[in-house]
């Protein structure tokens, strides 16, 4: 816990220096060529992700372009990425801001999303799933040890470093939060954040929550990996999100099918509730 306090102290110090630092920084366009979008749909609630090339050496990076309202909250994902350093987590390389935009330069993961591999394969074998989950757990353990809750773990936010390899990189710290200081008497988080079908009951119930919500999301990911279908989704057009919510809160999900029916029903397919990300 002492380390978490030290990190938070460092971060609040960074906050106070931030405006000064941002003002003295050069424009991203001096240092990088920012090009096309990395994925056709990489323009979600958090911004869009583009390919950037560093002018000095031609090295490619991913550049997340975030509409900036000038609030500290917008800077949260940069601060979270600054606080971590793990091979299983996308590395922050640089950041820039102007009055309208935050630019987050990150290492480029070339192997696509875990979501894409589930869709391709239908489902993972137990040993494939175990290898993936072990890496995600190590990355999540690291962020939790730094006092950071990811709050949006799902196959779209878990990337592969390369096409040929199986090295995993957890990405998208857009909803990441620092666990409050327990000594200040408020050890829980309260903002409702996440992607509906991966979201833990305590968030949906508007109860206080902590790092454990990431473990719930990881449980949903394990179910999807092994079965090829999500545990919580609208089973028919007659069902409402409220019905799905009740199942999540009770923790009741269908027995996984013996054979994968359609991995594309995985939580972000447009007709499923997983497509709905929310923040207060």
Ligand X SMILES: Nc1ncnc2c1ncn2[C@@H]1O[C@H](COP(=O)(O)OP(=O)(O)O)[C@@H](O)[C@H]1O
* Sequence-ordered strand ranges (E) for 122-271: 148-149, 158-160, 168-170, 177-178, 194-195
# chain residues binding Mg ion, by CB under 5 A: 2
Q: Which of 106, 132, 143, 168 binds ligand X (CB under 6 A)?
A: 106
Q: Which two tokens stand for residue 90?
A: 């996308």
Establish whether 163 is a catalytic residue. Answer: no
Residue 64: which of Mg ion, ligand X, none does it interact with, CB under 5 to 8 A by kind? ligand X
Cα(158)–Cα(52) distance, integer angstroms: 20
Binding flag, residue 80, ligand X (CB under 6 A)? no
Nearer to ligand X, 46 or 230 (CB): 46
Interface pattern 2-41 for ligand X (x via CB under 6 A): ------------------------------------xx--
Binding to Mg ion, residues 155-214 (CB under 5 A): 157, 172
Instruction: Please state the closest distance from residue 157 (CB atom) to Mg ion, in A.
Output: 5
Q: Are 223 and 237 contacting, i.e. CB atoms less than 8 angstroms apart? A: no
By beta-carbon distance, which residue lies closest to ligand X?
Answer: 46
Q: Which two tokens stand for residue 32?
A: 């990088």
Q: Which of 11, 25, 33, 44 binds ligand X (CB under 6 A)?
A: 44
Q: What is residue 106's three-state secondary structure? A: strand
Binding to ligand X, residues 171-200 (CB under 6 A): 171-172, 174
Nearer to ligand X, 116 or 122 (CB): 116
Nearer to ligand X, 38 or 118 (CB): 38
Q: Which residues contact 155 (CB under 8 A, 6 or more apart)?
A: 113, 114, 115, 118, 221, 224, 266, 267, 268
Listed residue (81, 45, 75) closest to 62, CA to CA:
81
Cα(37)–Cα(87) distance, integer angstroms: 24
Instruction: Please state the closest distance from residue 148 (CB atom) to Mg ion, in A.
Output: 16
- Identify the bridge partners of residue 96 per DSSP, sorted by sequence position: 103
Binding flag, residue 272, Mg ion (CB under 5 A)? no
**CA angle at 12 for the pair 98 and 189, rounded to the nearest 5°:** 100
Instruction: Please state the closest distance from residue 213 (CB atom) to ligand X, in A.
Output: 17
Q: Which two tokens stand for residue 10?
A: 């460092």
Q: Which two tokens stand for residue 260?
A: 């994968």
Binding flag, residue 154, ligand X (CB under 6 A)? no
Burial of 172 (0-12, 13-18, 19+ CB in 10 A): buried
Q: Which of 45, 187, 188, 246 binds ligand X (CB under 6 A)?
A: 45
Residue 111: which of ligand X, Mg ion, none does it interact with, CB under 5 to 8 A by kind? none
Q: List contacts with ligand X (CB under 6 A).
A: 38-39, 42, 44-47, 49, 62, 64, 90, 106-109, 113, 156-157, 159, 171-172, 174
């Amino acid at each position: 816990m002492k380390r978490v306090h030290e990190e938070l102290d460092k971060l609040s110090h960074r906050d106070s220096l931030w405006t000064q630092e941002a003002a003295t920084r050069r424009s991203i366009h001096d240092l990088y060529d920012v090009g096309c979008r990395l994925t056709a749909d990489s323009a979600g609630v958090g911004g869009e992700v583009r390919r950037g090339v560093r002018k000095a050496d031609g090295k490619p990076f991913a550049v997340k372009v975030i509409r900036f309202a000038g609030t500290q909250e917008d800077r949260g994902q940069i601060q979270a990425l600054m606080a971590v350093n793990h091979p299983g987590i996308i590395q922050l390389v640089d950041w820039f801001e102007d009055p309208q935009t935050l630019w987050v330069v990150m290492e480029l993961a070339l192997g696509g999303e875990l979501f894409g591999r589930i869709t391709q394969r239908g489902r993972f074998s137990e040993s494939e799933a175990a290898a993936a989950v072990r890496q995600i757990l190590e990355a999540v353990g690291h962020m939790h040890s730094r006092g950071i809750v990811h709050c949006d773990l799902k196959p779209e936010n878990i990337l592969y470093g390369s096409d040929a390899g199986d090295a995993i990189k957890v990405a998208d710290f857009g909803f990441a939060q620092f666990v409050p200081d327990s000594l200040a008497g408020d050890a829980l988080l309260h903002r409702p954040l996440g992607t509906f079908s991966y979201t833990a009951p305590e968030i949906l119930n508007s109860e206080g929550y902590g790092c454990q919500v990431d473990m719930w999301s990881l449980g949903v990911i394990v179910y999807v990996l092994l079965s090829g279908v999500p545990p919580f989704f609208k089973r028919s057009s007659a069902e409402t999100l409220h019905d799905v919510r009740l199942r999540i809160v009770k923790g009741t999900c269908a027995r996984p099918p013996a054979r994968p029916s359609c991995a594309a029903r995985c939580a972000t397919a447009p007709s499923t509730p997983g497509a709905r990300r929310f923040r207060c």
